[in-house]
Amino acid sequence: MVVGHDEDHSLLNPTGHVRRRLALDRAVRWLLLLAFAAVLFPLLDMVYWISARAVPAFTWGTFTEDQVGLGGGLHAMIIGTLFLIGIATAFAVGIGVLSGMYTAEYAPPAVARSARVIGNVLAGVPAIVIGYFGYYALVLYTHWGFNSLAGGVALGVFMVPFVYRTTDIGFASVPRAQREATLALGARRSQYLVRVALPIALPTMLSGVFLAMAIGLGETAPLVYTAGWSSSTVTGLLQPTSYLTGAIWNFYDFPSTEGSFLTLAFQAAFLLIVISLTVNIAIQVITDRYRRRLRGLFQ
Amino acid sequence: MAATPSPALPPPRGSGWRAWLGSPVALLPLVLVAAIVIVLLYASELRNFGGSFWSLNYLFDPLTDSGSFGVGIFAVGTAITAIMALILAGALSLAIAISLTVYLPPIASRPLTILTNLLAGIPSVVYGIWGYVILAPYFGSTLEPTLQNVIGFIPGFGGTRADTAGGTGLLLAVFILTIMVIPLTTAIMRESLRNVPKDLVEAGLALGATQWEVTRRVRFSVARGGLWGALFLGFGRAIGEAVAVAMVIGASVQIPSTFYGGSTTIASFIFYQLDSAFTYPSLLQALVEYALVLLAIAVVVNVVGQRATHSDMIAAATGGI
């Protein structure tokens, strides 16, 4: 900056309007950082309070007992959540991966564009509307009553866009040279997809599936009127089941003096936060590692 | 990132609607959207639309299983909570996005970016129980009376001590919604600002503009679409949130005279009301119609938001990668 002449002070010691502009810049920077901190504070508060209410009450029974009367544990809800997520993931992966591969690889550009827009529209459908859909289509019209299958499928519909989108991104991000080289060597498109594109797209797809599972794990609205509720451990596809988010929704307004309902709700919330954070951090790690590998491969 | 049409591939079979026929699997998300709409339309039988449906009259009589089912009160509750939450979340997430992309050094912005991504994964029902059990007593006993004393002269923030009792109500719902929307709007705004071409920014800086001036004049004008799109997609999330809002808004079918009073929204009402509606066909039908209204608004807002935002940015922001 210093050019070598003593009289050139204007850059180092700004005066007048330059000084005002620099001061404004600094003020804006601090204001923005302050706003950032203001957002983080309530979230730390939330994590703190939920841990404070949940952690001291954890025992083995929390994980091994069903909720009975005024006490008991979260066993049935943990199993129920895993069961529902299993059904939902099967549904979402089936539909999401097929249509994602199609959109990235086979669909004509115009179709692919519209398909992506529709995928995002599905992501924007409110969860409770999907819950109503599940209630009418899979609980009422089938005369099955509340059942895990309906819950799992409703949750699966909610999860489809995440799997779809990441599958699409994964396959579309395969370098064009790889594809052209494969096809030029006479490979069929299916061979290209399975042998060349899949290994490259897999980490992205997997992170999408995990993300969808983490988000599905925390959903309540699609489940309340489809999976129903049952205090004992789920016994079959067409039986109702309980689940962790439902424990919070059903127990959150019990007074803390009445049984262990409120404590169970906080413990469920704590488990959900822990699982969600773990899965999301795992996704970040996978993605980071994958990016590094991609850079090594193609640059 | 975007799929690049490759010249090496054979041209698509047919064009226009025939191209769609050639790609049945790409239609599956469309099939799901269509199924949702059809099932809801079939369930509602479109019986109550028209007349008193588009009014503020909501009155249900369980004894005769009849009443007038105006969507007005719920629509107003939804609009108030979602718009207020969006104003707050928009300002705050813009601040966060600028901090992350412009002001913070990489060593700080990388972990903080991951942190803001992680927040998107916290379940809404968890925000709900925190709001109801921990925040509501604080709002009712401390924050809201203080607001009454300090800014009580602003319409909507005055009222009596009775208005703040319990702490649940519009204000708490707005607060919770704001926090829930921030991760999504921040992610899209961040990606939009990050995608501003570097040479434009450096040209501005080289001309002697400060970072803030470059942000305001260059980054904002280049990223304008993404910033607006973030607001629309955030609005879609805010109006669709049922569970957390049902827990903290006080669940009463009214438009309160102050922001401290209880109210309800379309999404939260159809969520907590459904199990008591199983035995009342007319109420059940009204709820399905509310769901249709909500779906229609959500789809329109979503499509507008998508038009404003580049699809890669939505993907990068919400795909977690």
Residue A9 lies in a domain: no
Q: Could you count the other beta carbons within 10 Å of the beta carbon of residue B202? A: 12
Residue A1 lies in a domain: no
Q: Does the pLDDT of residue B14 top 50, yes or no?
A: no
Q: What is the pLDDT of residue A10?
A: 53
Judge if A139 and A278 occupy the same domain.
yes
Which residues on chain A are in Cβ contact (under 8 Å) with B210?
A: 21-22, 24-25
Nearest neighbour of A50 by CB, restricted to B23, B126, B302: B126
Judge if A49 and A159 occupy the same domain.
no
For range A246-253, the mean pLDDT: 92
ipTM passes above 0.95: no
The tokens for B270 are 């159809």
- Judged by CB atoms closer than 8 Å, whether chains meet at A133 and B39 is answered as yes
Task: Give the number of domains in chain A.
Answer: 2
Nearest neighbour of B26 by CB, restricted to A107, A121, A179: A107
Residue A3 lies in a domain: no
Judge if A48 and A148 occupy the same domain.
no
Check which CATH number belongs to the domain holding A286 and give it.
1.10.3720.10
Judge if A29 and A150 occupy the same domain.
no
Q: Does the pLDDT of residue B2 top 50, yes or no?
A: no
Residue A32 lies in a domain: yes
Region of poorest pLDDT, from A35-44, A186-195, B206-215: A186-195
For range B71-79, the mean pLDDT: 93
Chain B, residues 291-320, CB within 8 A of chain A, namely 291, 294-295, 298-299, 301-303, 305-306, 311, 314-315, 318-320
Q: Does the pLDDT of residue B320 top 50, yes or no?
A: no
Q: Does the pLDDT of residue B12 top 50, yes or no?
A: no
Please, what are the domains in chain B?
69-318 (1.10.3720.10)
Nearest neighbour of B8 by CB, restricted to A21, A180, A283: A180
Query: pLDDT (tens digit, 9 = 90+) per residue, B94-130?
Result: 999 999 999 999 898 888 888 888 888 899 999 999 9
Residue A2 lies in a domain: no
Judge if A68 and A82 occupy the same domain.
yes
Which residues on chain A are in Cβ contact (under 8 Å) with B9?
A: 183
In contact, B273 and B73? CB cutoff 8 Å: no
Q: Residue A38: which of B239, B292, B99 has the closest Cα?
A: B99
The region, left, alpha or beta by phi > 0 then psi within -120 to 50, assigned to residue A143 is left
Tell me if residue B149 falls in helix, strand or coil. helix
Judge if A20 and A115 occupy the same domain.
no
Q: Residue A197: which of A164, A167, A219 has the closest Cα?
A: A167
Judge if A45 and A111 occupy the same domain.
no
Q: What is the pLDDT of residue A1?
A: 46
Judge if A184 and A65 occupy the same domain.
yes
Residue A10 lies in a domain: no
Kindly report each contact of residues A101-104 with a partner whose C-beta sits within 8 Å and lies 24 or more positions away, as own/partner. A101/A167, A101/A171, A101/A193, A101/B25, A102/B23, A102/B25, A102/B26, A103/A164, A103/A168, A103/B3, A103/B26, A104/A167, A104/A168, A104/A169, A104/A170, A104/A171, A104/A172, A104/B3
Q: How confident is the model at residue A289 (pLDDT cuts 50, 70, 90)?
A: confident
Q: Does the pLDDT of residue B26 top 90, yes or no?
A: no
Judge if A38 and A105 occupy the same domain.
no
Which of A34, A56, A78 lies at the terminal end of a domain, its last residue? Answer: A56
DSSP for B168-217 reads -SHHHHHHHHHHHHHHHHHHHHHHHHHTS-HHHHHHHHHTT--HHHHIII
Q: Does the pLDDT of residue A243 top 80, yes or no?
A: yes
Range of the domain at A147: 60-298
Residue A7 lies in a domain: no
Query: pLDDT (tens digit, 9 = 90+) per residue, B190-230?
Result: 989 998 999 999 999 999 899 999 999 999 999 988 899 99
Q: Could you count the other beta carbons within 10 Å of the beta carbon of residue A247? A: 29
Nearest neighbour of A180 by CB, restricted to B6, B210, B287: B6
Judge if A49 and A130 occupy the same domain.
no
Residue A8 lies in a domain: no
Pairwise CA distance, residues B62 & B190, whole Å: 50
Judge if A161 and A30 occupy the same domain.
no
Query: At a CB cut-off of 8 Å and minimum separation 6, what does B92 contact?
Result: A35, A38, A39, B178, B182
Work out the end-to-end distance of chain A between its first and last CA atoms, rounded to an integer number of angstroms: 36
- Judged by CB atoms closer than 8 Å, whether chains meet at B26 and A102 is answered as yes
Instruction: Inform me whether the C-beta atom of residue B162 falls under 8 Å from chain A C-beta atoms.
Output: no
Average pLDDT of chain A is: 87
Query: pLDDT (tens digit, 9 = 90+) per residue, B266-310?
Result: 999 999 988 888 888 888 888 999 999 999 999 999 999 888 887
Judge if A120 and A196 occupy the same domain.
yes
